[in-house]
Amino acid sequence: GQQLNQSPQSMFIQEGEDVSMNCTSSSIFNTWLWYKQDPGEGPVLLIALYKAGELTSNGRLTAQFGITRKDSFLNISASIPSDVGIYFCAGLPTGGKLIFGQGTELSVKP
Amino acid sequence: DSGVTQTPKHLITATGQRVTLRCSPRSGDLSVYWYQQSLDQGLQFLIQYYNGEERAKGNILERFSAQQFPDLHSELNLSSLELGDSALYFCASSGTGLTDTQYFGPGTRLTVL
């Protein structure tokens, strides 16, 4: 079946550093979504991407829909302690259902 | 606040029992999705309803069932519960179907003892 590979699985960074994570797929996706989940809470939508090559920002967050439509990345600039959480990518293939990556757990040291 | 509500927030029950989880979608959303999240499995899609009808099915066990009512709220029924059913259960909603962005509720944490 279709799979999403999200990396890295976890990151430990210093406050103020930039962060980059990505997702790749063996299939073409029509939509890429990035969510953040705090412990015990539901995933919260950060950025939605609908076109190949699209680059979208939300504050310190920037995400891009890869040209091949098989990948996406999320960058966080100047990280702060409240960025801690698990970040999920999700992709929507043609005629299929939303598929989630396994998540990237981000820890930020003050 | 995503606009999606779920009740209850926590549920503790025993093996063999049956529980019902409830979800109210965002105002105007027609699609409701159910997901299970356990520590070692990530987010697993269970089932989707669109305007009262089942639209897509994922890794949902036969012991589980769902429905969407005319007022568009949805219920997920879990029966003959096993220890391994302990997980967070999320509901998400979207506007008109699979191509719409999904917004998640706060989840129900189910603990089976």
Kindly report the number of other CB atoms within 10 A of residue A17's CB atom.
Answer: 13
Give the pLDDT confidence score for residue A40 in this predicted structure: 80
Is the distance from CB of A66 to CB of A72 less than 8 angstroms?
yes
Write out residues in chain A with pLDDT < 70, as ranges.
1-2
CA–CA dist B13, B22 (Å, integer): 16
User: Which residues, 6+ apart, have CB-to-CB distance to A41 below 8 Å?
Assistant: B106, B107
Q: How far apart are CA A56 and CA A34, in angstroms?
A: 11
pLDDT at position A49 is: 92
CA distance B29 to B51: 9
Alpha-carbon distance A37 to nearest alpha carbon in chain B (angstroms)? 10
Tens digit of pLDDT at every position of chain B (113 positions): 889 999 999 999 999 999 999 999 999 899 999 999 987 667 888 999 999 999 888 889 999 999 999 999 999 999 999 999 999 999 999 886 555 688 999 999 999 99
pLDDT value of position B98 = 52
Which one of A58, A98, A99 makes the best mutation probe of the B interface by having the most chain B beta carbons within 10 Å?
A98
Q: What is the pLDDT of residues A5-34, one digit of tens each?
A: 999 999 999 999 999 999 999 889 989 999
What is the predicted pLDDT for the residue at B9? 95
A31·B4 Cβ contact <8 A: no
Closest among A36, A27, A34 to A3, alpha carbons compared = A27
Indicate yes or no: CB of A42 within 8 angstroms of CB of B4. yes
Distances (CA, A) of A101 to A14, A71, A75: 24, 11, 16
Residue B59's pLDDT is: 80
Which residues of chain B neighbour A100 with C-beta distances below 8 Å?
A: 42-43, 45
Q: Kindly list the residues from chain A whose CB atom is less than 8 angstroms away from the CB atom of residue B48.
A: 97
Please list every residue in chain A whose beta carbon sits closer than 8 Å to the beta carbon of residue B58: 97
